[in-house]
Amino acid sequence: MTYKVVSVVKLGQIQGNYGTLDKYGVMFEGQTTAAEMLQKPESPVVKPGDVLEGELTTDPKYGLKFRRSRSGGFGKNDPQTREEIIRQNSLTNAVNFCVGKANHMQAKDAVDYLTGKQIIQVATYFAKYSQGKVTVVMEPGEIAKEFGYQETEEPVNDGEMGEQEQIEPSDVPF
């Protein structure tokens, strides 16, 4: 839920499991009792008028507590955030891949190859691969030979990844 801050008083600092925390007494709009709130000293100071997302809980021993909701970052498995991270990572790796490949070409061919369109196409393919939407199907013997390993008799099953488009290595568009 969201709560609008009416007033804030810093009550001091405490030593938590993950370092020093600032302790505040916060009065929220519509509440008759101030809630205790903890936050890292480097976090922006809460002020009247701020709207905070979180949860108010009553602890029989310690009274009313406010705990902020986590927003984004590595603590939250937000599908949109995951999608953005995959796209950024795919673009970075596509640039690295295309530049690396261009370094092994003649100068004129490299200039023709290194286009924004080419990089975006590679990034799109990398993103689809990272999301499990496309896989490259190779015979186990091919993979083993390619990397210098002996072929195993038992196939490895890494688990189900959902619906996938399977293509042959020769059909990879780059």
pLDDT tens profile 115-145: 999 999 999 988 988 888 877 665 666 555 5
- In angstroms, the Cα distances linking 31 to 28, 48, 50, 102 are 6, 14, 15, 64
pLDDT digits (tens, 9 = 90+) for 73-92: 444 567 888 888 899 999 99
Residue 65 has pLDDT above 90, yes or no: yes
- In angstroms, the Cα distances linking 46 to 21, 24, 50, 89, 131 are 14, 9, 7, 34, 38
**Burial state string for 140-166 with b = 16 or more CB within 10 A and e = fewer than 16:** eeeeeeeeeeeeeeeeeeeeeeeeeee
Q: Tell me if 23 sits within 8 A of 14, measured CB to CB.
A: yes
Q: Tell me if 110 sits within 8 A of 102, measured CB to CB.
A: yes
Q: Tell which residue, 140, 124, 142, 133, has the closest CA to residue 167.
A: 133
Give the up-direction half-sphere exposure of residue 173: CA atoms within 13 A in the CB hemisphere.
14
What is the C-alpha separation between 65 and 38, in angstroms, rounded? 9
Residue 156 has pLDDT above 50, yes or no: no
DSSP 41: T
What is the C-alpha separation between 133 and 127, in angstroms, rounded? 9
DSSP 72: S
User: 12: pLDDT confidence band, cut at 50, 70 and 90?
Assistant: very high
Other CB atoms within a 10 A radius of the CB of residue 129 amount to 16
Q: Indicate the SS3 state at residue 107.
A: helix
